[in-house]
């Protein structure tokens, strides 16, 4: 950038506006993902340390701090993946991929309360509801992976660990059904 383009009263360069817009969109993806995780956690936290703490769990269950850390890292990865797809909107059809991203956020938001918060009222049915939502989430994330990969190989690769984690969480949910 030349000195004259940084002088007061000069127009902002189009590429600067594009970079700012791109950074803002990334921030929106990150905030949306964080808000979903925080809302679901807030709705479920009382029960997570209540009935769930006493429930029989699969031997491969990780500690809560590991689980929370992994969810956080994976949501950051999904946000970056969605952003990479969004950046290609001028050269590729991205509406389907981004719709799947939004759908997986919604399903993710529903899972924690359905499994943890509904258990005191619904009992075993909440475990089945949680498993059903997690299955739908897995299907949605697998579809998002396929759509993201069509647009950006890097975006598709960022979804792989998230899909793996979803399948792991589904196995924990199924174990809850079998053991309780």
Question: What are 100-153's pLDDT values in tens digits?
Answer: 999 999 999 999 999 999 999 999 999 999 999 999 999 999 999 999 999 999
Position 7 scores a pLDDT of 52
Residue at token pair 């950006």: 152
Q: Which of 7-16, 46-55, 67-76, 159-168 has the highest mean pLDDT?
A: 159-168
Domain carrying residue 75: 3-179
Give the CATH number for residue 125.
Answer: 1.20.1260.100
Positive or negative torsion for Cα 179, 74, 42, 29: negative
Overall domain count for the chain: 1
Residue 1 has pLDDT above 70, yes or no: no
Burial-class residue 41 by CB neighbours within 10 Å (0-12, 13-18, 19+).
middle
Position 14 scores a pLDDT of 75
Residues in the chain: 180
User: What is the chain's mean pLDDT, rounded?
Assistant: 91
User: Per-residue pLDDT tens for 150-161?
Assistant: 999 999 999 999
Per-residue pLDDT, averaged over 58-69, amounts to 92
CA distances from 97 to 63, 110, 117, 134, 143 (A): 32, 20, 30, 19, 8
Share of the chain above pLDDT 70, in %: 93
CA–chain centroid gap for 130, Å, is 16
Distance CA 157, CA 148 (A): 9
How many other C-beta atoms can be found within 10 angstroms of the C-beta atom of residue 10? 10
């Amino acid at each position: 950038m030349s000195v004259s383009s940084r002088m007061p009263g000069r127009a902002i360069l189009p590429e600067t506006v594009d970079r700012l817009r791109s950074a803002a969109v990334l921030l929106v993806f990150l905030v949306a993902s964080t808000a979903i995780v925080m809302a679901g956690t807030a709705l479920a936290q009382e029960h997570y340390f209540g009935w769930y703490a006493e429930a029989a769990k699969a031997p491969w269950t990780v500690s809560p701090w590991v689980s929370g850390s992994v969810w956080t890292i994976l949501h950051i990865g999904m946000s970056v993946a969605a952003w990479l797809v969004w950046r290609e909107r001028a050269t590729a059809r991205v509406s389907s991929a981004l719709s799947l991203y939004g759908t997986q956020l919604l399903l993710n938001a529903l899972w924690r309360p359905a499994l943890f918060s509904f258990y005191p009222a619904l009992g075993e049915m909440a475990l089945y509801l949680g498993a059903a939502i997690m299955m739908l989430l897995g299907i949605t994330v697998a579809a998002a992976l396929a759509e993201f990969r069509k647009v950006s190989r890097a975006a598709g690769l960022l979804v792989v660990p998230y899909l793996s984690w979803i399948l792991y969480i589904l196995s924990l949910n199924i174990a809850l059904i079998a053991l309780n």
